[in-house]
Amino acid sequence: MNSSIAANTPYQFILWAEQCFEQANLCYGHGTDNAGDEAAYLVLRALDLSFDCDEVQLNQTLNEETRDYLAALVRCRIEQREPVAYLLGEAWFCGLPFYVDKRVLVPRSPIAELIREQFSPWAVAAGVSRILDIGTGSGCIAIASALAFPDARVDAVDISADALAVADENSRRYAVSDRLRLIRSDLYENLQEQRYDIIIANPPYVNAEELAALPAEFHHEPILGLAAGEDGLDIVRQILKQSRDHLNQTGILIVEVGNSQEALLAAFPQLPFLWLEFEYGGHGVFLLTAEQLEQDGNGVGVI
Ligand SMILES: C[S@@+](CC[C@H](N)C(=O)[O-])C[C@H]1O[C@@H](n2cnc3c(N)ncnc32)[C@H](O)[C@@H]1O
Give me ligand 1 centre to Cα 226, in Å.
8
Mean per-residue pLDDT, 87-108: 98
Q: What are the residue ranges spanned by the domains of the chain?
A: 2-88, 104-301
Cβ within 8 Å of residue 275, ≥6 positions away:
261, 283, 284, 285, 286
Angle between helices 35-46 and 10-24 (to 10 degrees): 140
Taking CA atoms only, the protein residue closest to ligand 1 atom 6 is 136
pLDDT at position 302: 40
> Residue 252 in contact with residue 290, Cβ under 8 Å?
yes
Beta strands in 34-107 (DSSP E): 90-93, 96-99
Give me ligand 1 centre to Cα 104, in Å.
8
Give me ligand 1 centre to Cα 163, in Å.
8
Number of Cβ within a 10 Å radius of residue 128: 22
DSSP3 helix / strand / coil % (the chain, rounded to 5)? 45, 15, 40
Question: Closest ligand 1 atom to the C-alpha of 106?
Answer: 9
Q: How many CA atoms lie within 13 A of 285 on its CB side?
A: 22
Is 1 a residue whose pLDDT tops 60?
no
Mean per-residue pLDDT, 237-261: 97
Question: Closest ligand 1 atom to the C-alpha of 136?
Answer: 6
pLDDT tens, position by position, 284-302: 999 999 999 987 654 454 4
Q: Is the CB of 203 under 6 A from ligand 1?
A: yes
pLDDT tens, position by position, 138-191: 999 999 999 999 999 999 999 999 999 999 999 999 999 999 999 999 999 999
In this prediction, residue 81 has a pLDDT band, given cuts at 50, 70 and 90, of very high
Calpha distance 169→87 (Å, rounded): 18
In this prediction, residue 209 has a pLDDT band, given cuts at 50, 70 and 90, of very high
Instruction: Give the mutation target among 108, 115, 202 for probing the ligand 1 site: most ligand atoms within 8 A of CB.
Output: 202
Q: Is the CB of 183 under 6 A from ligand 1?
A: no
Give me ligand 1 centre to Cα 133, in Å.
9
**CATH placement of domain 104-301:** 3.40.50.150
Mean per-residue pLDDT, 27-46: 97
pLDDT tens, position by position, 107-138: 999 999 999 999 999 998 889 999 999 999 99
Q: Is the CB of 242 under 6 A from ligand 1?
A: no
pLDDT at position 126: 84
